[in-house]
Each structure stands twice: as structure tokens, then as C-alpha cells.
């Protein structure tokens, strides 16, 4: 299904791709409204409707993913609440096996998420998967301070390449978000895959535009080393044309 010989970098989304989106859906649509309802003396359904409107206003912008923004605007300890329910953070099926196989093949694996750095760190700490990526990158740290772009905003993938060079023609992006996949396609990323069921507790999504993965085993068979000629030194010119992997960077926690 995939031309693995034409791919040497894989960009992974986090929530809904490597991790089960159930944690996030539960958090924002269940736990936050429940606490908000308690505090303001509302029914939970009222709080859900009210919060949904507030979410809609900032959806698709970096604020939607910003824990500081929500802590301030809801006057709630959002990072603390996430810590409280961190036991619900879970990997999607075969994510770990796929990552291990990918790294063993010599390819570069980058985690590129819209999640706030605190949320990224919490999830990396809980799952222990940071070590399987060459880098873990929050979109909050991409671009200049004035250029606050989420992955679905035009210019994001160009800005990412400035900071973390990769060849878009030899890159695969796996992401559960349709706007993100569309934006990446428009900015030249050649190989794109979607996720059929980002939240294990909800119905699968039907996307027409992109091939959807049920789980990572579908793209594991036939995974060949990314530089099959390098081991015997047959084609050094080709090796030079491939951008160098960015330096290792691990989460500090
Ligand atoms: Mg996602």
C-alpha cells in the first residue's frame, strides 16, 4: 500500500493517531463540563452546551490547544485535572510496535502535535514513548512568537521545515484530522494517511479524501530499510540528497 522505498521520514500526530483520542474527548466533553457545572450550579448538559460554544469559537486556532488559555478563561486548573485522570491515556493498537519497527529500519520518526507542551510532556511521561521518536514537537514551539500556527493553518508545514528539515517528497504524515491532512497536502507532503477510529469509544470516521488506517499493522508488512543501498555503500550520491536527520531532542521530564 505504501511506497516505503520513497519514504525516509514519518511525521506522527499524537492524539487520535499514536494515542487513543478517548482521553481528550472524555476530558473536554465530560470532565471539564462536570466540574464547570459543579462550580456554577448548572446541570452537566447545560455546562456541556455552554462550553461547546466556547470551544467552537477557537477551534482550529492554537488557543484551542492551549492549556494556559483554558486555565485562564475557565479559571480551572486544567493541567492539574489532566494529571488527575492521566490513567486514561492509552496508546492506539500496535503504535509502539510500529514505531520500533520504523526506527529499526533507519527512518526518522517525528511526533508533531498541536498539544500544548505541558500536555505533550504528561502524555510522554505516562506512556514512555518519547524515546521512540527522533524528536517530539509541539506546534506551540514552531515558528516565531508572532506566528502562532496550528498544524491546520496555512504555512505551518513550511515553518516546521525551517526548524526541523525534512524532504516533503519523502515524508509520510499520519494524522486523524482532515484539516491537518489537507493543509499538509497543500504544502507538498507527499504521503498522507488518516485514522479510521481515532477514539476507541466512538464510531469510526468516514473520510473520502485520504486512505484511513484501522491500525498500524496494515502498513507494517513490507517495511523495508529506508536506505537499503547505504549498507553496502553503492549509492553515496543518493545518500547525500537525503536531508540529515535533525539532532536528537528528548522531553526534559
Ligand atoms: Mg489528532
The rounded percent of the chain whose pLDDT value lies above 90 is 75
Summarised one tens digit per residue, pLDDT across range 21-41 is 999 999 999 999 999 999 999
Centre of ligand 1 from the C-alpha of residue 199, in Å: 10
Categorize the per-residue pLDDT at 228 as very low, low, confident or very high, splitting at 50, 70 and 90: very low
Rg (CA), the chain: 19
| Average pLDDT score over residue span 194-201 | 96
Centre of ligand 1 from the C-alpha of residue 106, in Å: 25
Centre of ligand 1 from the C-alpha of residue 241, in Å: 31
Domain boundary assignment for the chain: 4-20+90-241, 22-87
Strand partners, 12: 111, 174
pLDDT the model gives residue 2 = 83
Angle at 54 between CA 48 and CA 60, to 5 degrees: 115
Class of domain 4-20+90-241: alpha beta
Centre of ligand 1 from the C-alpha of residue 217, in Å: 19
Centre of ligand 1 from the C-alpha of residue 198, in Å: 8
Residues 6+ apart with CB under 8 A from 201: 22, 25
pLDDT the model gives residue 60 = 84
Q: Could you list which residues have their CB under 5 Å from ion ligand 1?
A: 13, 15-16, 176
Categorize the per-residue pLDDT at 171 as very low, low, confident or very high, splitting at 50, 70 and 90: very high
| Residues 162/243, Cβ–Cβ less than 8 Å | no
Amino acid at each position: 500500500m505504501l511506497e516505503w522505498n520513497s519514504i525516509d521520514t514519518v511525521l506522527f500526530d499524537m492524539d487520535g493517531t499514536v494515542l487513543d483520542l478517548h482521553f481528550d474527548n472524555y476530558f473536554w466533553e465530560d470532565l471539564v463540563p462536570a466540574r464547570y457545572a459543579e462550580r456554577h450550579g448548572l446541570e452537566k448538559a447545560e455546562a456541556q452546551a455552554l462550553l461547546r460554544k466556547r470551544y467552537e469559537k477557537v477551534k482550529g486556532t492554537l488557543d484551542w490547544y492551549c492549556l494556559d488559555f483554558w486555565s485562564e478563561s475557565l479559571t480551572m486548573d486544567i493541567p492539574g485535572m489532566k494529571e488527575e485522570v492521566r490513567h486514561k491515556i492509552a496508546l492506539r493498537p500496535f503504535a509502539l510496535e510500529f514505531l520500533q519497527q520504523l526506527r529499526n529500519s533507519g527512518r526518522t520518526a517525528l511526533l508533531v502535535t498541536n498539544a500544548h507542551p505541558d500536555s505533550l510532556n504528561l502524555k510522554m511521561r505516562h506512556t514512555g514513548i518519547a524515546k521512540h521518536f527522533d524528536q517530539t514537537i509541539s506546534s506551540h514551539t514552531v515558528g516565531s512568537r508572532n506566528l502562532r500556527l496550528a498544524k491546520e493553518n496555512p504555512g505551518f508545514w513550511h515553518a516546521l521545515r525551517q526548524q526541523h528539515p525534512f524532504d516533503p517528497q519523502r515524508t509520510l504524515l499520519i494524522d486523524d484530522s482532515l484539516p491537518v491532512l489537507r493543509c499538509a497536502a497543500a504544502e507538498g507532503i507527499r504521503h498522507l494517511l488518516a485514522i479510521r477510529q481515532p477514539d476507541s469509544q466512538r464510531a469510526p470516521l468516514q473520510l473520502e479524501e485520504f486512505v484511513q488506517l484501522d491500525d498500524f499493522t496494515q502498513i507494517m508488512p513490507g517495511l523495508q530499510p529506508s536506505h537499503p543501498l547505504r549498507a553496502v555503500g553503492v549509492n553515496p550520491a543518493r545518500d547525500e540528497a537525503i536531508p540529515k536527520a535533525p539532532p536528537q531532542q528528548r522531553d526534559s521530564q
